[in-house]
Structures are given as structure tokens and as C-alpha cells.
Amino acid sequence: MTSTTRHPTLNSSVYRRILRRETHSPRAGLAIALAVVLILVLAWIGTESVLAFLSRPALLVAPGDALSAATTLPEAVVPATIIGGGAVLAVIGLIILLFALLPGRRARHIGVVDRTAVVVDNTVIASALARTASYTADIDPDQVVVTIGRRTAEVSVRPTSGFAVDRAAIAEAVAEQLEALNLTPTIRSKVVIEKKGVVGA
């Protein structure tokens, strides 16, 4: 498999920006949701503070009562529980923050055809591998299930009952198909022959 550095098209800054945009999804939705939650919390705190200043009943909890409960919490709860709960909340918060700030990956790979970079959806890759495997094994395409990951492709073959299939031949054909697609990042294939076959028509 040819690496990205060997393709002049992939080294172009314009190509890199376009391909990154097509293979990564923004986390704008989660970022907006977090911002809305933060705004609502701050608005609630501000409202409770104003109500407390005006000696009005609190909507949920008065700031003074909340502060008193927070200060007496260490005496009412085992310290190990507080530390454990705090650590869990910190990890959850960090994960949410990373999900909101870092871009997500779309189910796509980059391919190179005639020195031109193209974006290939994982379903297209799976379909091509399934056709290749079914043709090589001489079985119906419905008897092949392909799962595509970022760097792996698992091809699960269910042979027709009473008919053996050549796993090595299927693995070689699938590997050649992946090499022809020239994907980045590189995908390694794994062929699995199911023990339970399909009853022939």
C-alpha cells in the first residue's frame, strides 16, 4: 500500500484541507449543547441570587442553602466516596469536553486514483470487498458480510452447505482489491469462514 507521502496530490495543502473536511465531522452540535447547558446553569444561579437578594422564595435551592449543604457534605459522607465521585465526574467532564472540541471521524477513507485523491465511503469499500469475496468463493453476495474499521476490514463468509471454499484464495483476492483501491489509512483484511453454512436453493 502506497503511503500518503508518496502521493503529490495528498501533499498539497489544499487537498489536505479538503480531505480532512470530508473525512472528519465537526462536533458543533455537542459544543452548542454544552454551551446552552452552561448558559442555563448560569442563568439559574443569577436568578436565585436575585431572588435571595429580594428575600423572595427560591426557585429550586437558595444559594445560601446550597453553600451550607456543600460545606457540611464532607462531614456527612465518607471522604473516600467524595474523592471517588469527584474523580468520576472529572473524567466524565474531560471526555465530554474532548468530544465537544475534537473533530469526529466519518466512516470514510481516502483513495488515490490516477494521482487524484478521492473520498470513499466505507459502505462502498465493504460492497467492493463483498463482491470480490463472493465471486472468488462462487457464492451469493448475501453470504458475505464485511465490517470496515479505520484500519481493518473483516470479511465474514458463510459457505453453501456441502461446498468448501478456499479461504486463502478469498484472502488474496480481498487483499488485491484493497491494494487496487489504494486507501489511506491502510486497511488490513481478515477473512473468516463461518462454520455454519447456508442451505443451498
- Domain boundary pick from 49, 81, 101: 101
- Domain boundary pick from 65, 84, 101: 101
> Domain check: are 112 and 180 in the same one?
yes
169 pLDDT higher than 60: yes
- Residue 150's closest CA among 124, 184, 179, 116? 184
The CATH number for 160's domain is 3.30.70
Identity of residue 57:
P
> Domain check: are 117 and 171 in the same one?
yes
Q: Is residue 78 very low, low, confident or very high in pLDDT (cuts 50, 70, 90)?
A: low
pTM of the model: 0.54
Neighbouring C-beta atoms of residue 104, cutoff 10 Å: 10
**Domain-embedded: residue 41:** yes
**Domain-embedded: residue 113:** yes
**Domain-embedded: residue 132:** yes
> Domain check: are 133 and 62 in the same one?
no
- Residue 53 C-alpha cell reads as 437578594
> Domain check: are 96 and 115 in the same one?
no
Q: Can you give the residue range of the structural domain that contains 184?
A: 108-193
> Domain check: are 85 and 122 in the same one?
no
Instruction: Tell me if 193 sits within 8 A of 155, measured CB to CB.
Output: no
**Sign, Cα dihedral of 83, 85, 87, 89:** negative
Task: Look at residue 109 and give its three-state secondary structure.
Answer: strand
> Domain check: are 92 and 120 in the same one?
no
1 pLDDT higher than 50: no
Q: Is residue 43 very low, low, confident or very high in pLDDT (cuts 50, 70, 90)?
A: confident
DSSP H helical segments within 24-166, as ranges? 28-53, 63-76, 79-101, 122-137
Q: Is residue 196 very low, low, confident or very high in pLDDT (cuts 50, 70, 90)?
A: confident
> Domain check: are 154 and 181 in the same one?
yes
Q: Taking the mean position of all CA atoms in its chain, how far away is CA 144?
A: 24
- Domain boundary pick from 101, 129, 163: 101
The total of structural domains in the chain comes to: 2
